[in-house]
Amino acid sequence: MKSAFSPTAPISQRDLFAGRTEQMIALIDAVDEAGQHIVLFGERGVGKTSLAAVTSNMLGGSALSVRVNCQNGDTFSTVWKRAFQEISITSQVDSAGFGSNPRQTVQSILVALDLPDELSPDHVRATLTLLARDRAVVVFFDEFDRMQDGAVHGQFADAIKTLSDQGVRATIVIVGVADNVSDLVSEHASVERALAQINMPRMSVGELSLIVTRGLETTEMTIDPSALSRITKLSQGLPHYTHLLAQQAALSAVSEGRDNVEPDDVRGAVVRATERTQESIASLYYSSTYSAREKNIYKEVLLACALAPADDRGFFAATAVRETLSKLLNRKVEIPQFAGHLNAFAGDRGPVLRKFGAQRKFRYRFINPLLQPYVVMRGLEDELIPASMLDE
């Protein structure tokens, strides 16, 4: 069961990877196209790293493909040095003297080319040009949003521009958490034409279902359609929860000697899934809903936010919260009764929500999308919503 699901680690093997066909084709097409570089962006936890890893492995057969994780404190030079560190070349050194075998040395390209300590966009271009003579080169920079260095965006834009202008067979793939390209690469305008933009939306119900059925197949298990739809509904497009809930539900079925997962297994899985959710999410929930006053509705308002109909980018309005909250509390609620709660969630409670827009047209969104399914699962656990809601 352990290897059938992967709740926390990104996936790098093709067989556990579900869906994302459109994004993968876009990625491979852009790699194939001369002069194109790529920005892959989306919300936290939607599967960006997994797509990069699986695609990188697939490309590995025909291209030289390297992945680098960016960190806070990195600069243009440090991330490229890390990329080049991963690339080694073998050179034959003929030993003097008859009959002695030629020696082979394996060195990282950094050492082999005797690159300087501080790499500029021009060093990067020259090195990639050299490497790309033999075969195409693809370099992924994941978690690009973590880099705080002010110069890094301009330097990446410079490198992309010269590589593209000179038709070097090397592709830079920038991956990170963002709503749009300009949030991730601030200087993108100067290289607009050279940058293919790939947006990773949340996963569809079909894709999430595939994660469950594929994982279960590897252990020769099956699942009731209603149990499957509970899992995909609770996941809200975020594959982490799909893996976690499917894994826990399958374990529950096995512990009762069944090889079919039933709706009640999912109910039990919710409790164990919340216990296994990252501590950071759990403590965010606690600190944002805690109150010393017994009669408070912080949990209910946050739950109404998590259940409120949102647009495809996760934004919802106070009117949507009003409807959902009225249902949860079984009485008609007006916006002024919870407007203060929303402000607190966007302020000193967490903050867990971000508030956008102008007066009377405010929109809200969960800052960390992974909190949202957790809030719903806690709501089920604490019986703030009936389990039947999951089957509606």
Ligand X SMILES: Nc1ncnc2c1ncn2[C@@H]1O[C@H](COP(=O)(O)OP(=O)(O)OP(=O)(O)O)[C@@H](O)[C@H]1O
Is 49 or 252 the residue whose CB approaches Mg ion more closely?
49
Q: Please state the closest distance from residue 222 (CB atom) to ligand X, in A.
A: 19
Please identify which residue in 46, 119, 212, 307 interacts with ligand X, judged by CB under 6 A.
Answer: 46
> Which of the choices Mg ion, ligand X, none does residue 131 contact, using the CB cut-off of 5 to 8 A by kind?
none
Residue 239 lies near ligand X (rule: CB under 6 A) = yes
Residue with tokens 């999308």: 369
What does the block give as tokens for 118?
């501080």
Site string for Mg ion, 271-290 (x = CB under 5 A): --------------------
C-alpha distance from residue 164 to each of 39, 41, 59, 97 (Å): 14, 21, 20, 46
5-13, 304-312, 323-331, 346-354 -> range binding ligand X (CB under 6 A): 5-13
10-18, 178-186, 359-367, 382-390 -> range binding ligand X (CB under 6 A): 10-18
Residue 324 lies near Mg ion (rule: CB under 5 A) = no
Q: Is the dihedral of CA 182, 185, 186, 192 positive or negative?
A: negative
Residue 49 lies near Mg ion (rule: CB under 5 A) = yes
What does the block give as tokens for 116?
């300087």
166-225 residues in contact with ligand X (CB under 6 A) are: 177, 211
220-259 residues in contact with Mg ion (CB under 5 A) are: none
Please give the Cα distance from 245 to 276 (Å, whole number). Answer: 10
- What is the dihedral angle through the alpha carbons of 140, 145, 149, 154, rounded to the nearest 10 degrees? 60
Beta strands, E only, the chain: 37-42, 64-69, 88-93, 103-108, 137-142, 170-177, 195-200, 222-223, 260-261, 353-356, 363-366
Please give the Cα distance from 78 to 147 (Å, whole number). Answer: 11
What does the block give as tokens for 178?
């963002």
Site string for ligand X, 241-280 (x = CB under 6 A): --x-------------------------------------
Residue 55 lies near Mg ion (rule: CB under 5 A) = no
Question: Which positions touch Mg ion (CB under 5 A)?
Answer: 49
Question: Which positions touch ligand X (CB under 6 A)?
Answer: 6-8, 10-11, 16-20, 44-50, 177, 211, 239-240, 243
